Chain A
Amino acid sequence: MSCIKMKYEVPGDDFTRAGEASSMVKRKLKQLGYNPDAIRRVAIAMYEGEINMVIHAGGGVAEVEVYPDRVEIALIDQGPGIADVEMAMQEGYSTAPDNVRSLGFGAGMGLPNIKKYTDAMRIDTEVGKGTTMYLTVKAK
């Protein structure tokens, strides 16, 4: 296994399909016999990021690279961007509207969760242009 690359479109208009990309990545890592703890951390972090692209950014693209020692994930959207990343990273900070809350999201826990479960996290964002989030999970 050198490097396996996967790419998924994440549609922004269908909340019921959010999570499909993360689900496929999880299945693929299982097939590869990847470390179960790493699989779960990848799945949760990517799922939080995928949901964020759907509810905050109108969808996007997920690119995943699997190496023997780590998984690298890029979540790329052309949404509104994040004006204050430091604020967005705080537990409990959310701009999600009530209809999103009634679906079970908008606790303001997604980005803190991603930070917790990944070994590296970087957010490139520009208001009005979009957001790209780079995540690394080590296989350990």
Chain B
Amino acid sequence: MQVKDIIDILEAEIISAADLEAEVRTACGSDMMSDVLAFVKDQSVLLTGLLNPQVVRTAEMMDMRCIVFVRGKEPDENVISLAQAMDITLLKTRFRMFTACGKLYMSGLRGGCENE
């Protein structure tokens, strides 16, 4: 799947676009950043309800390509410019965390650990 497919699946809006054709295979949904940082398995998408700059920093350290803000939330300018500097696409979806993750899972994205 590519970043642009996530836009269709989650009926998402682009907040800031980097490489929409970047290949993504695994995702992680969490509001705890150390949870996200615990599993390095080429996770390329982060779904979160948090809006602070550490969300982008976490994605950056993990080499993630895309962050999806759930429940229609949108971060401020600082967060957006940080994501732009890091070549990370920012999307927002009106769906809540559970539903957004479920839709992506049904479309083939996985959790990144063998048993997920």
**Is B17 close to A, CB under 8 A?**
no
Given contacts A16-B78, A19-B54, 6 further A-B contacts (CB under 8 A): A15-B52, A26-B61, A44-B62, A48-B37, A112-B38, A117-B40
Q: In the complex the two chains form, is A22's CB within 8 Å of B34's CB? A: no
Q: In the complex the two chains form, is A109's CB within 8 Å of B32's CB? A: yes
Q: In the complex the two chains form, is A43's CB within 8 Å of B32's CB? A: no
Q: Which residues of the other chain, B, contact A104 by a CB distance below 8 angstroms?
A: 31-33, 48, 50, 52, 54-55, 58
**Dominant SS among interface residues on chain B:** helix
Instruction: Give the contact-size bracket for chain B.
Output: 20 to 34
Specify the chain B residue showing the minimal Cβ separation from A47: B61
Q: Which residues of the other chain, B, contact A105 by a CB distance below 8 angstroms?
A: 32-34, 54
Specify the chain B residue showing the minimal Cβ separation from A110: B34
**Is B57 close to A, CB under 8 A?**
yes
Q: Which residue numbers of B lie inside 8 Å of A, CB to CB? A: 31-35, 37-38, 40, 48, 50, 52-55, 57-58, 60-63, 78
Give the distance in Å from the alpha carbon of A103 to the alpha carbon of B57 in the complex: 13
Q: In the complex the two chains form, is A40's CB within 8 Å of B57's CB? A: no
* Given A22-B61, A47-B61: A113 and B37 interface contact (C-beta under 8 Å): yes
When each residue 43-56 of chain A gets 1 if its CB lies under 8 Å from chain B and 0 otherwise, what string results? 11001100100000
- Our pick among B32, B33, B40, B48 for the contact of A40 (Cβ within 8 Å) is B40
* Given A40-B62, A44-B62: A113 and B53 interface contact (C-beta under 8 Å): no
**Is A107 close to B, CB under 8 A?**
yes
* Given A18-B54, A22-B61, A105-B54: A47 and B37 interface contact (C-beta under 8 Å): yes
Instruction: Report B77 CB to chain A, min CB distance, Å.
Output: 12
Q: In the complex the two chains form, is B54's CB within 8 Å of A44's CB? A: no
Instruction: Report A115 CB to chain B, min CB distance, Å.
Output: 11
Instruction: Report B69 CB to chain A, min CB distance, Å.
Output: 13
**Dominant SS among interface residues on chain A:** helix
Instruction: Report B5 CB to chain A, min CB distance, Å.
Output: 25
Instruction: Report A105 CB to chain B, min CB distance, Å.
Output: 6
Q: In the complex the two chains form, is A113's CB within 8 Å of B61's CB? A: no
Q: In the complex the two chains form, is A47's CB within 8 Å of B32's CB? A: no
Q: Which residues of the other chain, B, contact A40 by a CB distance below 8 angstroms?
A: 40, 61-63
When each residue 90-130 of chain A gets 1 if its CB lies under 8 Å from chain B and 0 otherwise, what string results? 00000000000001111111101100110000000000000
**Is A35 close to B, CB under 8 A?**
no
Give the distance in Å from the alpha carbon of A106 to the alpha carbon of B34 in the complex: 8
